[in-house]
Amino acid sequence: MSVNRSAATVVEVPRGLAGVVVADTEIGDVRGFEGFYHYRQYSAVELARTRAFEDVWHLLVHGDLPDPRRSAAFAAETAALRRVPDEVWGALPAIAAASAPSGPLAGMRTALSLLGAAKGFRPVYDIDADERRQDTLAAAAAVPTLLTALHRLGRGLDPVEPRDDLPYAANYLYMLTGAEPEARRARAVEQYLITTIDHGFNASTFTGRVIASTGADVAACLVGAVGALSGPLHGGAPSRALDTLDAIGTPDRIDPWIRERVLAGDRVMGFGHAIYRTEDPRSRMLREVAQSFGGPRVEFAVEVERHVEAILAELKPGRELHTNVEYYAGVVMELCGLPRAMFTPTFAAARVVGWSANILEQAADPKIIRPVARYVGPRAPVAVPAA
């Protein structure tokens, strides 16, 4: 519940602002009861099936899907922005060493701040739309470079500089592993990245928009979004979903393991979503991607999914829980050779594009986001006791 001071009225507000409309957007929407989400006017899943990552990036930032000529130009423009300034590159070993216990995502918060300072990002309040857009492109293009360099440095390996001749996803895998990836693995990762670019007003996107509403620079907005994403309730689940498969181990253990967790009221990682009341369309598509690779791991994941849904239907009738994006995302990323420590950072390498689009949209509105809270402490005023 919150108080509108100007009108002196009391308005009921659900915990966590669940279902509360806080802004208008043209970027996309999630229809949880329909199992559908879109980027602008296009199905996000169909975009993942048919278009390149850079095309979807263009759609979110510029508002339309590019034709082949503009697609190539935009890909070349963003590829040229992948290299970071020398002072940032030179600082990465120290950042990686300091953030080693927490991982690349923690290090990237520092690296992004440094990148913004080195590139001279100015407050979005003080610059025009073109400069804001250029700042978001520069920051988003550099994020995979920063993440992969911090990961490799944290493991005693030299960082790999980006290549201009590889698409976004292939270049990401190249910088991560040091080897040019197989085309089908690069495409699988690209499809995962496209499906996770944006997803409504999730915690990290909303955080970025709140900071943008203050007029702060693009780097500040993105650092705040990364901080929100790092929380285990938001971006930390893909590796935990794989941990579930590991804990079950073999097909004969599926039923007893799941029943024990469900009856104890424990959450089964990789199942359920705060928005969807149907199957998560991202999970459905990534299941297809995983099954295109095949193999025992994929077969086991599909079998676990089938059993979990059957057991939940038996023990919790009327409560539909399906796999969410993290479940098959973990399987796909593992198949493509990504270490688990890089699952959430890889999510960030996609979501930075959605954050950027939301920052640009919010920056066009000069109104700061400033809600109020309902005070529930001791009754005031109370006289201050003498010292």
Q: Which residues carry out catalysis?
A: 273, 326
Contacts of 351 (CB under 8 A, 6+ apart): 196, 197, 198, 204, 205, 225, 229, 235
SS3 percent helix, strand, coil of the chain, rounded to 5, is: 60, 5, 35
Residue 340: count other Cβ atoms within 10 Å of its Cβ.
14
Q: Whole-angstrom Cα distance, residue 372 to residue 288?
A: 45
342 with 176: CB under 8 angstroms? Answer: yes
Backbone angles phi and psi of 149, in degrees to 5: -65, -45
C-beta neighbour count of 358 within 10 angstroms: 27
The answer to whether the beta carbons of residues 108 and 51 sit under 8 Å apart is: no
Q: Directed axis angle between helix 168-177 and helix 183-195, to 10°?
A: 110
- Report the alpha-carbon distance of residue 349 to residue 172 in Å, rounded: 9
Answer whether the bond into residue 381 is a cis peptide, omega within 30°. Answer: yes
| 11 φ/ψ angles, rounded to the nearest 5 degrees | -120, 130
